[in-house]
Amino acid sequence: MPRSRILGPVGVAWFGLTLAAIIYATRMALVVAPTDALQGNVFRIIFYHVPHSMLSLVWPYVNLAASLGFLYWQRRDPLKALAADALAISAAEVTVVYGSICLLTGMLWGKVEWGIWWTWDYRLTSMLVLWLLYVAYLMLRKLSSTGQTQTLAAVLSVFAGIDVPIVYMSIRWWRTQHPSPIFFSGDPESKMDPSMMPAFLWNLSAWAAWGVFLLTMRYLLERRRQDNEQDAALKAIEDSLELTR
Amino acid sequence: MTYLGHVWSHLRKDLHLEWRSRDSINGMLFFSLLVVVVFSLAFDPTAAMSREIAGGILWVALLFAATTALNQSWTRELRNRVLEAQRMAPSPPSALFLGKALANFLFVALVEAVLAPLFVVFYDLHALGQGWLLWVVMPLGTWALVCNGTFFAALGLRTRNREMLLPLILFPISIPALLGMIQATTAILSGEFEPGLWIRLLIAYNLAFTTACLLLFETALNAE
Amino acid sequence: MKLSWMFGPSLEQRHLLYVYVAVWVIQGGYAAWLAWQWRQASKAAQVDETMPSVRREDY
């Protein structure tokens, strides 16, 4: 695989700018944004929590698109299929990272805000199921025998993609039929004062850029691993040819 | 031979094989019974409370029982390299899947038929809502578990740690269906709310995933 | 230091701190793992290139 000469400098620049953006956004979240009238300083958690939650709903679709691409190209263009598969696993791992952060920070905030670590409301439960699905995806990739891994994982990804909206709707119906004893007053974003928007938007953009960086790096890592495997396989074939002479 | 003819052959094959040893069915029956007894000891509910929780306990017991049998249903295809023969056979692969899923459905339904009276006995149940709807909910719920379960058991066929992988994948994907079947059963037993929404959810879930399983089975079978 | 209000024994302060630290730890940890895996993959690639396969001329 030819090594692109612009990729290196662009990658380093992206990394540097993203890191700077994260630091700036964090500073905005902690220092610049005004203290909330109702919650005091603890609301600053949302500047990290909400961007991660929103982004963790984006990466699964990248995984789904890549898996569908893999299934489409599998017989038609194996090289493109390999690239699609590399993107699929990258997106799955980034989903698990962002989803874990969403759940963890959400629980820490919930304990302060509502006095409980967890409740089965529709958003939390849907996020938990999403997280479980993608951890199962990663486990399938790890445990299946090579040669089959990519296809099986792509199939699972399609199932997960069908399931996620169904999960969301079903749990939403469940939780509006039986309203939970703790009342959740809608989206946290609806409470956001315009003066907090800059901090929020900076955090959203910075963590999105970071996510793209992680996705790209993981993709390149996977491509490199695929290359190594191909080289090793080629070498094994060559060596076996030498032995017969 | 028509498509349904193929499905019927596969179904008959699985029923025959199972009938010879009756391993799966006996295992499932005894396992479900144990789960029911353990839950009964753990919760020891009053009559009113038992109507709230019996639905959940029944479906959890069936879920665990079905999981133990689903892996086994595919291992008999691995012996004597039968799976390779299946791949080379001219019958459509989805017919193999459908035949096996129907066979598993019949086995789990048999277990339910034995389990349901036991439930009535242990939990002193009688339905306060429309009891006849249970005849709708039970098959729908069972098919939801068995269809996806058969598919994922096939996915995990050549993985290491096959027994662990099936629950890991099946349980998250089945959560909407589990919610539907448990809520519908609880609604019928307790009569406190309408099961209609949950039955519609089960129907939609079954349609979506049965289609997905039939379409994707060939890909999964030939995943080499 | 302007951020001294963040550090304190109350639940709000502790959880706020945990959140910010946890995010950096998890993201940083994943990035570090990626970097380590990248090094492993590069080393593997180098080994393949430098190790010569048996050539016919050597016989």
What residue spans define the domains of chain A? 24-183+193-244
pLDDT recorded at residue A189: 46
Between residues C49 and B92, the one the model is more confident about: B92
pLDDT of residue B159: 75
pLDDT band at A166, cuts 50/70/90?
confident
Q: Do A145 and B159 touch (CB under 8 A)?
A: yes
Q: Which residues does residue A36 pair with via DSSP β-bridges, in sequence order?
A: A40
* Angle separating helix axes C11-50 and A46-55, nearest 10 degrees: 40
Q: By the 8 A CB rule, do B29 and B111 touch?
A: yes
pLDDT level of residue C46 (50, 70, 90 thresholds): confident
Task: Print burial letters for A39-56: b (CB count within 10 Å at least 16), e (below 16).
Answer: bebbbbbbbbbbbbbebb
Spatial distance between the Cα atoms of B50 and B158, rounded to a whole number of angstroms: 42
Residue A165 has pLDDT above 60, yes or no: yes
A136 shares contact with chain B (CB less than 8 Å): yes
- Sequence-ordered alpha helix ranges (H) in chain A: 7-27, 46-55, 59-76, 78-114, 122-143, 149-177, 197-244
Residues in chain C with CB shorter than 8 Å from the CB of A225 are 41
Task: Tell me what percent of the residues of chain A surpass a pLDDT of 90.
Answer: 36
The single residue listed with the structure tokens 């899947």 is: B97
Please check the confidence at residue C57 and state whether its pLDDT lies above 80. Answer: no
CB contact under 8 A, A105 and C38: no
Q: Do chains B and C touch (3 or more CB pairs under 8 A)?
A: no
- Is residue A153 within 8 angstroms of chain B, CB to CB? no
How near does any CA of chain A get to the CA of B20, in Å?
Answer: 31
Instruction: For chain A, say whether C53 makes contact (Cβ under 8 Å).
Output: yes
Question: What pLDDT, on the 0 to 100 scale, is given for residue A245?
Answer: 56
More confident residue, A219 or A173: A219
| A44: nearest CB among C16, C22, C34 | C16
Q: What is the mean pLDDT of residues A36-52?
A: 79
Asked if C38 contacts A224 with a C-beta cutoff of 8 angstroms, the reply is yes
Cα–Cα distance, A36 to A238 (Å, whole number): 68
B134 pLDDT above the threshold of 60: yes
Measure CB to CB from residue C41 to each of A40, A109, A221 and give the nearest one: A221
CA distances from A11 to A7, A83, A210, A220, C26 (A): 6, 19, 11, 11, 21
- What mean pLDDT is predicted for residues A61-89? 93
**Which secondary structure element, helix H or strand E, spans residue B118, and what is its range?**
helix B93-123
Q: Is A228 on the interface with B (CB under 8 A)?
A: no
Q: Which of B63, C17, B172, B164 has its CA nearest to residue A96? A: B172
Q: Are C34 and A217 in contact (CB under 8 A)?
A: yes
Has residue C54 got a pLDDT over 70? no
User: Is the pLDDT reported for residue B17 higher than 80?
Assistant: yes
Distance between CA atoms of residues B216 and B187, nearest Å: 34
Asked if B179 lies within 8 A of A171 by C-beta distance, the reply is: yes
Which of A34 and B148 is assigned the larger pLDDT?
Answer: B148
Average pLDDT on A203-231 reads 93
Touching chains, A (3+ CB pairs < 8 A): B, C
**Contacting residues for B218 by C-beta, under 8 A, at least 6 apart:** B92, B93, B94
Q: Which chain A residues are closer than 8 Å to C53 by Cβ?
A: 235, 238-239, 242
- Is the torsion defined by CA of A89, A94, A97, A102 positive or negative? negative
CA distance B111 to chain A (A): 27
> What single-letter amino acid sits at A23?
I
A132 token code pair: 């479980």
Contact between chains at A45 and C22 (C-beta distance less than 8 A): no
Q: Residue A61 — pLDDT band, cuts 50, 70, 90? A: very high
pTM of the prediction? 0.86
Model confidence band, residue A180 (pLDDT cutoffs 50, 70, 90): very low
Which range scores top for mean pLDDT: A163-172, A220-229, B155-164? A220-229
A145/A50: higher pLDDT: A50
How far is residue B61's CA from residue B19's CA, in Å, rounded to a whole number? Answer: 23
Is pLDDT larger for residue B21 or for residue B150? B150
Tell me the average pLDDT across A142-166: 86
Count other C-beta atoms under 10 Å from residue B83's C-beta: 18
List subunits contacting chain C, requiring 3 or more Cβ pairs under 8 Å. A
Distance to chain A for C46, nearest Cα, Å? 9
- Chain A nearest C-alpha distance from C28 (Å): 10
User: Nearest residue on chain C to A244, judged by CA atoms?
Assistant: C56
A76–B contact, CB cutoff 8 A: no
Contact residues on chain B for A167, CB-CB shorter than 8 A: 175-176
What is the three-class DSSP state of B44? coil
- Tell me whether A143 touches chain B (CB under 8 Å): yes
Note the pLDDT of residue A1: 47
A144:B168 CB<8 A: no
Read off the pLDDT of each residue in A174-185 and give the average, rounded to a whole number: 52
Q: Is residue B142 pLDDT above 90, yes or no? A: yes
Average pLDDT for chain B: 87
Residue A144 contacts B, CB cutoff 8 Å: yes
The residue ranges of every structural domain in chain B are 3-221
pLDDT at A36: 67
- d(Cα B203, Cα B195) in Å, to the nearest integer? 12
Residue of A225, A229, A243 best to disrupt the C interface, most CBs of C under 10 A: A225
**Does A147 sit within 8 Å of B172, measured CB to CB?**
no
Q: How far apart are alpha carbons B20 and A74 in whole angstroms? A: 41
Tens digit of each residue's pLDDT (9 = 90 or more) over B171-196: 999 999 999 999 999 999 888 888 88
Shortest CA gap A177–chain C (Å): 32
Residues of A whose CB is below 8 A from B176: 163, 166-167, 169-171
Strand partners, A40: A36
ipTM above 0.90, yes or no: no
